[in-house]
Amino acid sequence: MADFFSIVIISSILLLPLLLHLLLKKPNPNPNPPSLPGLPLIGHLHLLKPPLHRALAHLSDLHGPILLLRFGSRRVLHVSSYSGANECFNVNDITFANRPRFLSGKLLGHNHQTIVWAPYGPHWRNLRRITTVELLSTYRLLSSSHIRSDEVLSLVKTLLRDYSGPGFHLTELKTKFFGLAYNNIMRMIANKRYYGNADESSSEAGIEFRDIMRETVSVSGTTNPADFVPVVRWLGIGGHERKLKRLRRRRDQFFDGLINEHRTAKKMTGSQHSKGSPAERSTVIDVLLSMQEGDPEYYNDAIIEGFITVMLIAGTDTSATTMEWAMALLLNNSQTLKKLRDELDANIEQGSLLQESDFSKLPYLHAVINETLRMYPPAPLLLPHESSQDCTVGGFHVPSGTILLVNTWKINRDPKFWDEPNKFMPERFLRTNNEKKSDEIVKEGLKMIPFGLGRRRCPGEGLAMRVVALVVGTLVQCFEWDRVCDGELDMSEGAGLALTKVKPLEAMYKPRESLASLLSQL
C-alpha cells in the first residue's frame, strides 16, 4: 500500500507542472482557419486533382481565401488573396522564412543546405548575400549580357537555317527555348554550351548533361506522396526515393568534374581568374572557387554544387516556360502582336537587332512580359514556406510547423484587382493607359507576385526578365508569326508544380521582308 501511495504522490508531482500550464495558459483569441472534412491517413489529398493550383483555387472559391488543409500528416495553409499573401510575407515574413523539409531537399538540396531549401538563419543569409552580391548583381548581369545576345542570335540563325520558304514554315519552339535557357545559364556557370550546334553538344559530357537535366525536370515537377504520407516511403511505393538517389549520384559526379576542370585551369594559369573584383571574374564556378580559397571549410564543393543546381533549375524552367506562354499568347492575339512589332520597329535602330540597352524604350514589350507572368506565373503556388512559430493570418491562428502555399495564379486573376482578369491585356501595365492614373498602375502591378515576396523572393528575377524580353522581342522583330491552326492555340496547363504548357508550342514563321538585308548578314 505504501508503494501505491508513493507512486501516486510522485506521479502527481510530475504532472503538476503540466496541469498548471494547462490551467494558466491563455486561450487563443483567434479561431483556426476554415477547413473541411478530410479522410483518414490522406487528409485532403484526394481533392487535389491536377493541375494543383486550379484545384486549390476551386476550393478557395467554395471555402474562402484562407483555408487550412491536411496533406496526409502535414498541415497546409492555402492563401489565395493578395492581402493574405502580403500578411504572410511582410507582417509574418520571418515566421514564414523557413522551408518544409522534403525528401527532394535532403537528396538534391545537399541535406537542405542550398539557398532554396536551407532554413532561415546565418547560413541562408550568407547564401543569399553571395547570390545577390556576387553572382546575380546588376553589374554581373550587365557583364554577362553578351552571353544572352549570343544565344538569342544563335536561335535566330537556327530558324533562318531551318527555313525552306517561300511562305510560312513550321517550327517547334519549346525545345529551342529550353536549349537557349540552359546554354545561357551554363555559360554563366562554367562557360559550357551543351545545346545546339556547339561541339560540346555532341560530346559525351553534353549528352550526359542533357540526360541529367531531363531527369531533373521530371522528378522536380512532381509531388512526392512520401513527403506527406510516411507509410508510402516505408513501403517504397513509387520508387521516388530510389530515383532521387540515382539522380543525385549522376549529378554530383558531373558537377564534380566541372569544378575540378575549373580548379585545374586556375592552377595552370596562375589563378588569374581569382584576381580582381568578383564581378570581373569569368564564371560562377570561378567566383566560388576564389571564395573557397579564403574559407575552404565553409565554401566546400558541396556548397558550389548547390549553387550550380539552384541556378540551373530556377534559371531555366521559369524562363523557358514564360517564353513559350508569351509567344502562345501573342499568336492568339494578333493585334497585340502587331502592336509589339510596331513598337520594336519604331524604336530599334534600322539595321540592328534588339539589344538589352533598348529595353528602356520599349514599355509595351515589358507590358507583354508582365501580362504573361500575370496569367501564367512559372510557379503558380510559389515555393512552399513553413511557419517557425505560431502566428496570425487574416485573423486566424496558424500553428508552428504549418506549410504555406500561396496561390499566385489565383491572386493574379482576382477580379477585385484586375479588370477582365482572364483576358490578355498588356495595356493594363502601361502608364499611358487613359483609364488609369500612373499610381494606380503601379499599385495594380504590385498585386502580381510571380517571383514571390519577402526574404525568400526569387533573386533571379532580374536575369529572367532580361532573357525573356530579349528572346520574345527579337523573335517578333525578325519574323512574321502565325498559328498552326485556324482556331486559337491549345492553352491547357500541365499537372506539375511548374506551370508548363501541355502541348508544346508549334508555330508558323517566315523572315520579315523588311529585315531581309539584316538577316542575310547574320
Which residues does the annotation place in the binding site? 458
User: Shortest CA distance to 324 belongs to which of 499, 148, 512?
Assistant: 499
Give Cβ neighbours of residue 146 (< 8 Å, ≥ 6 apart): none
Residue at 510: amino acid letter: K
425 φψ region: left (φ > 0), alpha (ψ -120 to 50), beta (else) = beta
Backbone angles phi, psi at 405, to 5 degrees: -120, 120
Name the grid cell of 302: 558541396
What is the distance between the alpha carbons of residues 89 and 94, in angstroms, rounded to a whole number?
8
Identify the residue whose cell numbers are 481533392.
Answer: 47
Q: What's the per-residue H, E or C state across 171-215?
A: EECHHHHHHHHHHHHHHHHHCCCCCCCCHHHHCHHHHHHHHHHHH
What is the distance between the alpha carbons of residues 224 and 49, in angstroms, rounded to a whole number?
15
DSSP 356: G
What is the distance between the alpha carbons of residues 434 and 440, in angstroms, rounded to a whole number?
11
User: Shortest CA distance to 224 belongs to which of 384, 79, 54?
Assistant: 384
What radius of gyration, in Å, describes the C-alpha atoms of the chain? 26
Cα separation values, 210 from 196, 206, 398, 440, 487, Å: 11, 6, 42, 45, 34
420: three-class secondary structure by DSSP = coil
Burial class (CB in 10 A: 0-12, 13-18, 19+), 166: exposed
CB contact at 8 A, 408 and 381: yes
| Continuous H helices in 424-481 | 438-446, 461-478
Exposure on the CB side of residue 337, measured as CA atoms within 13 A: 17
Instruction: List the binding residues for heme.
Output: 458
